[in-house]
């Protein structure tokens, strides 16, 4: 018997407000959810990322079924389809729907597949706009217009005004838009003090079954499941939000950019996975943070710093993804081609900063923003790694990774692979920055101030060589002026020594 709508729910669309579910009629519609192995193998995905998606999907399907809604749920190992598309086609043949309904996906690749599916089968495939975001794709495009270069700060201020977030009438709360100067502190010698524990969630029976299944089906994949404790339901996610606002938001701002050995989470919210799976709505997160300031629970600098990430960066990044795809995935401004060193998958390197961040990534599927941008991302740019290989790694190893947010952060923010479409300069730093913002250098075989010789910090050597080689392009940028002053003081012999050491390091990345 044929049905009206086959409703597809993708793994990162787990909201009861999913627009594809609007108007759902259990008498004539059916939901299809698929655990497709290819989604975990098109990049060599961390076990925890696979487990998070599958566990959250199984919990969500159970909630839909509890409502009495018909759900076809295809579990890993219990169906023959490797790719989502094959499973969709089989379901269309089985149910002969009059149409397919789905919320617009978070990946350009899947959107193309869905559009082609409709065309080849001659079947209406309704891609409903994703109401999760405060700025729709069309609204972002209207804001961006024809401008060549976009700046997040301008977008963020427009969003604050439009949505009346942290505003006192027409003015920003506290009289300023930006508290960055309060929010970039390092820890003192003693490191982080009074750190509240992060909300973690012990695996229930559904999650335990998923963990076992991931260990069976993806045994050779990177990462560990030993610390898996992510929120996998909306109830968990709300609990995580409440705990963050109560315990960690007041301390969020000051040390937002700081890093410390064996402290993976610090005051960060760990809410990105729940947000990206759509277990949380960004509006409720922003409202909860603003309420915490208005009620006197958290300082304005911390709350503004946090809201800027969600209302500003997260929405902006999604806008630029859809504006620049598919070109963003191919972009390679500097023409970098080196493969990833093997230690990106093991953490086995003598560079303590990279070792710390990669080990914690493999243990938890998590690293905070500055670790991604200024440790692994910075190294990848300076060491001339292929942007496509780096993007595949970032998509694989973080539990919060979905392409709409991962790719612009990697290609645009970290690697400048798109030539600065939305960043005013490449984010590059020497070992001195890592020394200032962390205690990593104290436990390292290298020394951040040394640029050549066996003790030289590879990050610093690569950094000075990068500046020297790209001086023509960068020195003209007023935001880079300060970076060039130390380089101008180096004589030709010193520059030549740095160049030759950088070349040697580049040829021996695996042994660093």
Ligand X SMILES: Cc1cc2nc3c(=O)[nH]c(=O)nc-3n(C[C@H](O)[C@H](O)[C@H](O)COP(=O)(O)OP(=O)(O)OC[C@H]3O[C@@H](n4cnc5c(N)ncnc54)[C@H](O)[C@@H]3O)c2cc1C
Q: Which residues bind ligand X (CB under 6 A)?
A: 268-272, 275-276, 306, 309-310, 313-314, 317, 368-369, 372-373, 377, 394, 398, 400-401, 405-406, 409-410, 413-414
Task: In whole angstroms, give the CA distance from residue 344 to residue 348.
Answer: 8
Task: In whole angstroms, give the CA distance from residue 116 to residue 122.
Answer: 10
Q: Which does 314 bind (CB under 5 to 8 A by kind): ligand SF4, ligand X, none?
A: ligand X
Q: Which does 405 bind (CB under 5 to 8 A by kind): ligand SF4, ligand X, none?
A: ligand X
Q: Which residues lie below 8 Å from residue 247, measured CB to CB, with a gap of 6+?
A: 196, 197
Q: Which does 390 bind (CB under 5 to 8 A by kind): ligand X, ligand SF4, none?
A: none
Task: In whole angstroms, give the CA distance from residue 397 to residue 140.
Answer: 29
* Residue 410, phi then psi, degrees to nearest 5: -80, -60
* Residue 188, phi then psi, degrees to nearest 5: -75, -175
Nearest-approach distance from CB 276 to ligand X, in angstroms: 5
Q: Which does 317 bind (CB under 5 to 8 A by kind): ligand SF4, ligand X, none?
A: ligand X
Complex with ligand SF4: residue 113 or 447, whichever CB lies closer: 447
Complex with ligand X: residue 271 or 441, whichever CB lies closer: 271
Residue 121 buriedness (CB in 10 A; 0-12 / 13-18 / 19+): middle
Task: In whole angstroms, give the CA distance from residue 306 to residue 309.
Answer: 5
Nearest-approach distance from CB 97 to ligand SF4, in angstroms: 55
Q: How many CB atoms lie within 10 A of CB 190?
A: 7
Nearest-approach distance from CB 114 to ligand SF4, in angstroms: 43
Q: Which does 270 bind (CB under 5 to 8 A by kind): ligand SF4, ligand X, none?
A: ligand X
Q: Which residues lie below 8 Å from residue 401, measured CB to CB, with a gap of 6+?
A: 49, 394, 395
Complex with ligand SF4: residue 31 or 351, whichever CB lies closer: 351
Nearest-approach distance from CB 211 to ligand X, in angstroms: 22
State the residues that interact with ligand SF4 by CB under 6 A: 351-353, 431, 434-435, 440-441, 444, 446-448, 457-459
Nearest-approach distance from CB 240 to ligand SF4, in angstroms: 31
Task: In whole angstroms, give the CA distance from residue 101 to residue 96.
Answer: 13
Q: Which residues lie below 8 Å from residue 310, measured CB to CB, with a gap of 6+?
A: 275, 282, 285, 286, 289
Q: Which does 73 bind (CB under 5 to 8 A by kind): ligand X, ligand SF4, none?
A: none
Nearest-approach distance from CB 457 to ligand SF4, in angstroms: 3
């Amino acid at each position: 018997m044929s049905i009206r709508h086959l409703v597809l729910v993708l793994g990162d669309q787990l909201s009861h407000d999913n627009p594809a579910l609007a108007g759902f009629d259990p008498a004539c519609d059916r939901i299809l959810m698929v655990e497709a192995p290819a989604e975990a193998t098109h990049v060599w995905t961390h076990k925890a990322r696979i487990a998070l998606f599958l566990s959250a999907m199984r919990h969500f399907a159970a909630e839909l079924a509890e409502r009495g809604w018909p759900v076809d749920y295809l579990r890993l190992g219990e169906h023959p389809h490797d790719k989502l598309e094959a499973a969709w086609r089989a379901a269309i043949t089985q149910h002969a729907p009059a149409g397919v309904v789905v919320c617009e996906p978070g990946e350009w690749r899947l959107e193309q597949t869905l559009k082609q599916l409709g065309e080849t089968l001659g079947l209406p495939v309704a891609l409903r706009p994703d109401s999760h975001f405060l700025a729709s794709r069309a609204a972002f495009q209207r804001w961006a217009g024809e401008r060549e270069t976009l700046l997040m700060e301008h977008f963020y201020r427009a969003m604050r005004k439009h949505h009346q977030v942290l505003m006192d009438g027409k003015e920003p709360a506290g009289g300023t838009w930006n508290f960055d100067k309060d929010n970039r502190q390092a820890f003192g010698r003693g490191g982080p003090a009074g750190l509240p524990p992060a909300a973690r969630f012990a695996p229930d029976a559904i999650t335990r079954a998923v963990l076992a299944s991931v260990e069976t089906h993806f045994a050779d994949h990177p990462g560990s499941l030993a610390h898996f404790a992510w929120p996998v339901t909306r109830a968990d996610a709300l609990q995580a939000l409440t705990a963050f606002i109560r315990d960690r938001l007041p301390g969020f701002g000051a040390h937002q950019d700081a890093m410390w050995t064996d402290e993976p989470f610090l005051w960060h919210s760990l809410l990105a996975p729940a947000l990206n799976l759509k277990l949380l709505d960004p509006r409720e997160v922003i409202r909860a943070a603003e309420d915490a300031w208005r009620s006197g629970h958290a300082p304005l600098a911390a709350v503004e710093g946090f809201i800027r990430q969600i209302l500003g960066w997260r929405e902006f990044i999604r806008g630029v993804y859809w504006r620049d795809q598919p070109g963003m995935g191919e972009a390679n401004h500097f023409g970098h081609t080196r493969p990833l060193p093997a230690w990106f998958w093991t953490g086995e390197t003598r560079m303590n900063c990279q070792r710390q961040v990669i080990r914690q990534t493999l243990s938890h599927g998590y690293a905070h923003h500055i670790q991604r941008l200024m440790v692994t991302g910075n190294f990848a740019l300076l060491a001339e790694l292929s942007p496509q290989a780096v993007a595949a790694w970032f998509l694989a190893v973080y539990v919060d990774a979905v392409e709409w947010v991962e790719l612009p952060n990697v290609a645009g923010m970290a690697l400048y692979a798109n030539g600065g479409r939305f960043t005013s300069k490449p984010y590059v730093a020497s070992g001195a920055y890592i020394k200032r913002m962390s205690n990593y250098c104290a436990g390292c075989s290298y020394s951040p101030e040394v640029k050549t010789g066996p003790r030289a910090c590879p990050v610093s050597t690569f950094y000075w060589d990068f500046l020297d080689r790209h001086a023509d392009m960068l020195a003209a940028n007023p935001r880079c002026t300060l970076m060039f002053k130390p380089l101008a003081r180096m004589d030709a012999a010193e520059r030549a020594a740095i160049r030759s050491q950088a070349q040697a390091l580049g040829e021996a990345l695996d042994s660093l």
